[in-house]
Structure 1
Amino acid sequence: MSSFATLNTLSVGTDYEALAERFRPIFTRIAEGAVERERTRTLPFEPIQWLKEAGFGAVRVPAEFGGAGASLPQLFQLLIELAAADSNVTQALRGHFAFVEDRLNAQAFSPQNAWFERFVAGELVGNAWTEVGDVKIGQVITRISRQGEQWVANGTKFYSTGSLFADWIDLYAQRDDTGADVIAAVRVQQPGVRQSDDWDGFGQRTTGSGTSVFENAVVEDDHLIDFSTRFKYQTAFYQLTLLAVLVGSGQAAVREVAQQVRVRARVFSHGNAAAVRDDAQVQQVVGKASAQVYTAEAAALRAAQASQRAYLAHFAKDEQAEHEANIAAELESAQAQVVIADLVLRATSDLFNALGASAARTGLQLDRHWRNARTAASHNPLIYKERIIGDWEINGTEPPYVWQIGGGNQPARAEKEPQSA
C-alpha cells in the first residue's frame, strides 16, 4: 500500500440502501420528465444539475475525502437505477465516472485531493476522445503545444458524451514536443472551447454527444496527464457503463409496458381473457422480459465485481496479481456485454407483443427503450468482443485494453470484370 493510500482511503463500499435512498427521489423526478424530453429532444440540463447538487458525481470518492466510498458494483447498481429513470442521463455521465476512476487509481502514487474536492463540490467531467473524418488508426490529430508560458489544445472531437453538461473535458490528445499521448483536463468555461449538440443518432439522443472544438484552449500544467498512466481496466469500465444503460433501459421497458397492460381496456376477440391484464399469454410476454432483464442485471453486477478487484489490486503492490485482475475485468465485461445486449434487445422488442398497435404511438415513446438499447449496444462491436473471448478461451491470448477506430490502410478494391455466360 502506497504512502498516499491506505485501506481507509479506498472506496471499498458502503451501505447501498442508505446510499441509494439519497438519490431515489431525484431518480423519480428524472423519470417523470423522461418521455417529454425524448419527444422534444430536450437535453437534461436540469436533471443533471439535480444530481450535481446532491453529490452524485462523488459517490466513488473515498469517504475520508467527502465522498460516499461506494464500490464499483454499488456505482453501477446506482447507474442502473438512474438509467431506468432515463438512460440518456447515465450515458451522459460515462466520461465523468471514468475520469473519477482514473484519479482514484492515481491516488496510489500522488495525492488527488484537489480533484476529489472538485468532485465533492459537484463538478463534472465530460469526454472528448474520438476523431472522425480523415484520421487513420492510431493517428491523433488533436495536439497539445506550448504557446508562450502555457499549454494549449487544438483539435476537433466527436462523440463528446456528456461534455455539454460538464465543467471539465477529459481530452485525448498528443503532445507536439514529445509525440506522447496524453489526457488534458480542459476547463469548459473558456473562449477556446466550442461545443455543439449535433449528435443525430436514432437513440441516446439527449446525451450531449456532439462535436467539441478546441482552439488554443488553455490547459494548466498540472492538468496534463500521461496516457500511459491511465487506469488499466478503463475499457472494462466504459463497457460497464454501457451495460448499466442497457439494463436500465430494459427495466424501464418492463415497467412501462406492465403499466400499459394494467390499464388497457381494449381486448382482441381471439385473446384469452376479458381484460388484457388477465390474459395468460400477455402475462407470459411480460414475465419473460422481466426474467431477461433480471439476468442482464445480475451479469452486469457480477462483471463489476471483477473491476472492483482490479481497482483494489492496483494498491496491493503485486504486479502479477494486478495484471491478472485487469485481464479478468476486461474479459468479464466482454462476456457480460455479449449476453446483456442480446437479452435487453429481445426484451425491449418482444414486449410490444403484449400490446396492440397503439403502443407504437409517439406519445408513449415506448420505442425509445429499444432505440436506446440498440445504440448503446453498437458502441463496441459485439462480434469483435466474442472473438476476443474465444481467443482467450482457446489460446490464452490477452484481450486488448485500449483500442481505436479510424481509417484503414487497405488499397481500393478493383472492380471485377463481368463474367461471360
Structure 2
Amino acid sequence: MTEHHVINPLSIGVDYPALAARFRPIFERIAEGALEREHTRTLPHEPIQWLKQAGFGAVRVPVEYGGGGASLPQLFELLIELAAADSNVPQALRGHFAFAEDRLNAPPGAGRDLWFKRFVDGDIVGCAWTEIGTVAMGDVVTQVSPNGEQWTLNGEKFYSTGSIFSDWIDVYARRSDTGGDVIAATRTHQPGVVQSDDWDGFGQRTTGSGTTRFTDAVVHAEDVIDFATRFKYQTAFYQLVLLATLAGIGRAALKDVARQVRDRQRIYSHGNAAHVSQDAQVQQVVGEVAALVYAAEASALKAALPAQRAYLARFGGDDAAERDANVAAEIESATAQVVVSELIQRATSQLFNALGASDVRQGKALDRHWRNARTVSSHNPVIYKARIVGDWVINGSEPPFVWQIGNGPKQA
C-alpha cells in the first residue's frame, strides 16, 4: 500500500455480491410493508432504522474507516435494489448520500474523520435547501449567524426530503456576517428544529419531503461549510439517485405485472389462450415492459461511471482531468435522465395493457408505480436537461453545475 493510500484511502469498490448480500434481507423486509405504507401513508421510519443499524448509510465510506468502500456505480446499483423494494426510501436518503459524498471529497483531516465516524455509527443526514414563496432567484432567506462559540440558524425550508428521519440536516443558508453561501449541518433533535410531514404530492408520498423550520437552531462552527467547496459533481449525483429510483420503480412494476399475469384466471373471449400467462399478446406486452426496464437500468448504471471518475480525479492532482470528469458526469447523468424518465413512465403505464379492469382497483395500487415515476421525473425539468445536452453536443458549451429556483423578474 502506498503512502498516498495510507493518508487518504479512497472508496474504489468492493465485491458487489458480498456487499449486496448484507442488505438484501433488509430490502426484502422493506418490500413486505411497502404496499401497506402506500395505503396508509405511513412514513418508513422503521425501514430506515433497519438500514441505519446495518451500516447502509456508510457504504461509501472507505473500508479503512469502517465503511463499505463501495464505488459510486455500486452505490447506485444498491439504490436500484432498494427502490425496487420501496422507491420512497432511496429518495428519502438522497440528501444523506449527497452530504456523505461531499465529505468524501473534503480534504483529509480531523473534521472529515469525524463525519466518517458518524456515518459508520449510523448517523443519517437529511437535506433542507429549497425555499418557496416570494424568494427571488439566487436569494437565500435562511441565515446562519455567529453567536459566541456557536452559530444560530433561522429560516424555513420545503422539500426537506428525508430530514424527518435524520440525525442531522444539511441546510443551505447564508451567513449574516459576510453574505456568503454555506452548508450548515445542524442536529435534528433540538428545540430550534420543527419538522412537518406536509408533502402532498400524488406520488412518492412517504419521502418526508415537507417543511422544516429553524428558530435559533444551534450549529457548531466546524459544521458551517463554505458552499464554494461543495463537491463539483453534486448536481450529477443528485440526478443519479433519481435515476436509480426510477430504475427500481421499473423493477417493481415488472415484478408486479408478471405476478398478476401468472395469477389471473379470467380471460377474454377474444383473447389468444385458455390462460392469460399463455396469451402471446400479453407475453409481448410484458416482454416490452421488461425491455424498457432493462434499458433504463443499463442507462442509469452507465451514467454513474463518470461520477466515480470525477471522485477519483478530485485527488488526482490534474485540474484538466478533473474538469473533464465533472463535465462528463453532468452530461451523462442529464442524457440518461432524458431517456430513463420516458422509459419508466412508458413501462409503468403500458403494464396495464397486460391486465384487466379489475387491476386498476385501489387495493392493488398498481398505479403507484406510474405516480411515483411521474413524480421523480418532475425533478430538475427534463426539457432543460435535453437542451443542455444538445448545446454540449453542438457547441461544446459547458453544463451548469449548480441549479437554482426562485421567482423571476416581475412582468410589466
- Asked if Structure 1 and Structure 2 have the same fold, meaning a TM-score greater than 0.5 normalized by the shorter chain, the answer is yes
1:52 aligns with 2:52: yes
Cα separation, partners in 2 of 1:6 and 1:392, compared to 1, 3 Å: farther
Superposed CA offset, 1:375-400 (max 9, x none): 00000101100000011111111000
Aligned residue number for residue 30 of structure 1: 30
Offset of residue 112 of structure 1: 1.1
Greater shift in the superposed pair: 338-347 or 403-412: 403-412
Write the distance in 1 (CA, Å) between the matches of 2:110 and 2:66.
18
Write the distance in 1 (CA, Å) between the matches of 2:117 and 2:173.
25
Write the distance in 1 (CA, Å) between the matches of 2:116 and 2:145.
27
Offset of residue 108 of structure 1: 4.8
Superposed CA offset, 1:175-223 (max 9, x none): 0111100000000011000000000000000000000000000000100
Provide the secondary structure at the position in 1 that maps to 2:73.
helix
Residues 261 and 276, structure 2, Cα contact 8 Å, conserved in 1? yes
Provide the secondary structure at the position in 1 that maps to 2:216.
strand
Aligned residue number for residue 359 of structure 1: 359
Offset of residue 110 of structure 1: 6.5
Write the distance in 1 (CA, Å) between the matches of 2:5 and 2:193.
35
RMSD (CA atoms): 1.3
Give the alignment of 1:4-403 within 5 angstroms: 9-108=9-108, 112-403=112-403
The amino acid of 1:73's aligned partner reads P
Write the distance in 1 (CA, Å) between the matches of 2:315 and 2:64.
17
Offset of residue 410 of structure 1: 3.7
Residues 4 and 109, structure 1, Cα contact 8 Å, conserved in 2? no
Superposed CA offset, 1:335-379 (max 9, x none): 000010010000000000000011111111111110000000000
Write the distance in 2 (CA, Å) between the matches of 1:185 and 1:76.
24
**TM-score, normalised by the number of residues in structure 2:** 0.98
Residues 158 and 209, structure 2, Cα contact 8 Å, conserved in 1? yes
Offset of residue 117 of structure 1: 0.6
Write the distance in 2 (CA, Å) between the matches of 1:4 and 1:112.
16
Provide the secondary structure at the position in 2 that maps to 1:76.
helix
Aligned residue number for residue 415 of structure 1: none
Offset of residue 307 of structure 1: 0.1
Residues 5 and 107, structure 1, Cα contact 8 Å, conserved in 2? no
Write the distance in 1 (CA, Å) between the matches of 2:396 and 2:21.
43
Write the distance in 2 (CA, Å) between the matches of 1:357 and 1:211.
38
The amino acid of 2:195's aligned partner reads Q
Aligned residue number for residue 418 of structure 1: none
Superposed CA offset, 1:133-183 (max 9, x none): 010100000001123442100000000000000000000000011110000
The amino acid of 1:19's aligned partner reads L
- Give unpaired runs (5+ residues) of structure 2: none
Aligned residue number for residue 417 of structure 1: none
Cα separation, partners in 2 of 1:394 and 1:6, compared to 1, 3 Å: farther
Residues 4 and 108, structure 1, Cα contact 8 Å, conserved in 2? no
Superposed CA offset, 1:215-261 (max 9, x none): 00000010000000000000000000000110000100000110010
Superposed CA offset, 1:68-103 (max 9, x none): 100000000000000000000010000000000000
Residues 196 and 211, structure 1, Cα contact 8 Å, conserved in 2? yes
Provide the secondary structure at the position in 2 that maps to 1:139.
coil
Write the distance in 2 (CA, Å) between the matches of 1:85 and 1:36.
13
Write the distance in 2 (CA, Å) between the matches of 1:3 and 1:310.
22
Moved over 6 A (4+): none
**TM-score, normalised by the number of residues in structure 1:** 0.96
The amino acid of 1:151's aligned partner reads W
Offset of residue 5 of structure 1: 5.7
Write the distance in 1 (CA, Å) between the matches of 2:190 and 2:104.
27
Provide the secondary structure at the position in 2 that maps to 1:212.
strand
Provide the secondary structure at the position in 2 that maps to 1:183.
strand
User: Percent identity of the aligned residues?
Assistant: 69
Write the distance in 2 (CA, Å) between the matches of 1:402 and 1:7.
30
Write the distance in 2 (CA, Å) between the matches of 1:64 and 1:231.
22
Write the distance in 2 (CA, Å) between the matches of 1:176 and 1:271.
69
Provide the secondary structure at the position in 1 that maps to 2:118.
helix
- Give unpaired runs (5+ residues) of structure 1: 413-421
Residues 84 and 249, structure 2, Cα contact 8 Å, conserved in 1? yes
The amino acid of 2:206's aligned partner reads T
Provide the secondary structure at the position in 1 that maps to 2:144.
strand
Offset of residue 109 of structure 1: 6.8
Offset of residue 36 of structure 1: 0.4
Provide the secondary structure at the position in 1 that maps to 2:137.
coil
Provide the secondary structure at the position in 2 that maps to 1:91.
helix
Write the distance in 2 (CA, Å) between the matches of 1:217 and 1:401.
29
Provide the secondary structure at the position in 1 that maps to 2:86.
helix
Write the distance in 1 (CA, Å) between the matches of 2:98 and 2:360.
36
The amino acid of 1:76's aligned partner reads F
